[in-house]
């Protein structure tokens, strides 16, 4: 009873805040859900040392991230461009001392947004504060094991499992939509059904499973050459030292068997599950032998803005020479589809294994093929 009253009070406070400020963007954005979706990386810094992290060599670059004033300018420009939804990913957002200022500004401007976090830097009071954001669509939380031993081993810091579980429970107590994200790898793929049980017990809204990254040097080189030819600009590819080919440390047939088992088990539990890879073509992903044309199935994705304000179409690839997001003023910039054309072109040039590992999006066969 107390929890229901608390949920109603928070929703009433949200409503009266909208009435008081006259900001109707939240309502309008929900009506035109995901007109333009931008993924924003406020920082690549992190407080954990995850063994599968693909941002290790990005951090070695020591590039300065956007200041709060530059983030503010970027948000204003995105608003002019018609963007109405932001996915905040990292690094870990809450290592920034101005993280709450950024969230307040996003809320003030009427964006819909989601937050990806490892959940280790947030208290119950912080979760309550998040519950008052009208624009917050969901929180994406990393969970890579059903117990301390597995999760903490993968995350590289002891004690993070307990904090993660407490955070998820807090979110559900405060009526926040939660998506749990698991990176499937050697240390946990045989324990996925146990993770499913844990997720089901916490009433998590969605469970997304991603594969670990493994890309050969040859694919990196082909990608760089193809993009530089297509764009006419120099291309930087990050994670070329963190990610190597043939690093899947398990038996492929056993892996596929386990994935099919967990799919069936999730159906039995009626658990809302999203696999960010297609097990039926995992042999081609594993061996990097795909020869078919594929296009991205996420038509609403407008691009990613990195920690320096560069607008990219991929978390791993920066095409130097494209405008920085905090310097954009052209109203038709996103309609030009330059990023979409680059993305489509690289997918049609046998780069699908690299792209599928980078963005984690499902691919569909091109109708043009």
Q: What global pTM score does this model have?
A: 0.83
Distance of alpha carbon 219 from alpha carbon 225, whole angstroms:
10
Residues 6 or more apart whose CB falls under 8 angstroms from that of 369 comprise 292, 293
Three-class DSSP category at 131: coil
| Helix-strand-coil split of the chain, %, nearest 5 | 45, 15, 40
pLDDT digit string (tens) for the chain, length 369 residues: 545 665 566 566 556 555 544 555 544 544 554 556 788 999 988 999 888 776 666 666 666 899 999 999 999 988 887 788 899 998 899 999 999 999 999 999 988 899 999 999 999 999 999 998 988 989 999 999 999 999 999 999 999 999 999 999 999 999 899 999 999 988 999 999 999 999 999 999 999 998 877 677 777 777 778 778 777 778 877 654 455 555 677 788 898 999 999 999 999 999 999 887 778 777 777 776 665 555 555 555 667 888 888 877 666 677 777 678 787 766 666 655 566 666 666 656 655 555 655 554 445 555 444
* Structural domain spans, the chain: 1-25
Residue whose C-alpha is closest to residue 116's, from 97, 146, 136:
136
């Amino acid at each position: 009873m107390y929890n229901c009253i608390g949920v109603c009070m928070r929703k009433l406070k949200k409503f009266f805040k909208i009435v008081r400020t006259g900001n109707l963007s939240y309502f309008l954005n929900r009506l035109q859900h995901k007109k333009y979706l931008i993924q924003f990386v406020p920082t690549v810094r992190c407080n954990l040392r995850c063994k599968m992290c693909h941002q290790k060599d990005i951090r070695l670059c020591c590039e300065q991230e956007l200041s709060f004033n530059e983030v503010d300018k970027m948000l204003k420009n995105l608003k002019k461009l018609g963007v109405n939804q932001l996915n905040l990913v990292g690094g870990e957002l809450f290592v920034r001392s101005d993280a709450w200022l950024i969230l307040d500004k996003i809320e003030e401007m009427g964006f819909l947004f989601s937050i990806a976090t490892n959940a280790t830097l947030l208290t119950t009071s912080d979760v309550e504060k998040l519950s008052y954001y009208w624009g917050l669509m969901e929180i994406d939380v990393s969970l890579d094991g059903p117990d301390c031993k597995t999760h903490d081993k993968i995350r590289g810091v002891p004690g993070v499992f307990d904090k993660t579980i407490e955070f998820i429970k807090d979110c559900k107590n405060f009526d926040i939509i939660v998506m749990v994200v698991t990176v499937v790898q050697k240390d946990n793929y045989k324990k996925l059904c146990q993770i499913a049980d844990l997720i089901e017990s916490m009433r998590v809204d969605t469970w997304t499973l991603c594969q670990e990254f493994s890309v050969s040097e040859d694919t990196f080189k082909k990608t760089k050459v193809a993009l530089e030819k297509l764009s006419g600009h120099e291309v930087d590819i990050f994670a070329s030292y963190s990610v190597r080919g043939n690093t899947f440390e398990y038996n492929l047939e056993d892996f596929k068997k386990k994935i099919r088992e967990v799919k069936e088990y999730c159906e039995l539990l009626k658990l809302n599950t999203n696999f960010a890879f297609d097990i039926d073509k995992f042999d081609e992903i594993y061996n990097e032998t795909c020869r078919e044309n594929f296009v991205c199935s996420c038509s609403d994705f407008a691009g990613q803005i990195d920690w320096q304000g560069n607008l990219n179409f991929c978390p791993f690839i920066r095409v130097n020479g494209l405008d920085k997001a905090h310097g954009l003023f052209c109203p038709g910039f996103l309609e030009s589809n330059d990023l979409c054309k680059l993305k489509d072109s690289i997918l049609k040039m046998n780069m699908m294994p690299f792209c599928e590992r980078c963005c984690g999006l499902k691919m569909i066969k091109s109708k043009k093929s």
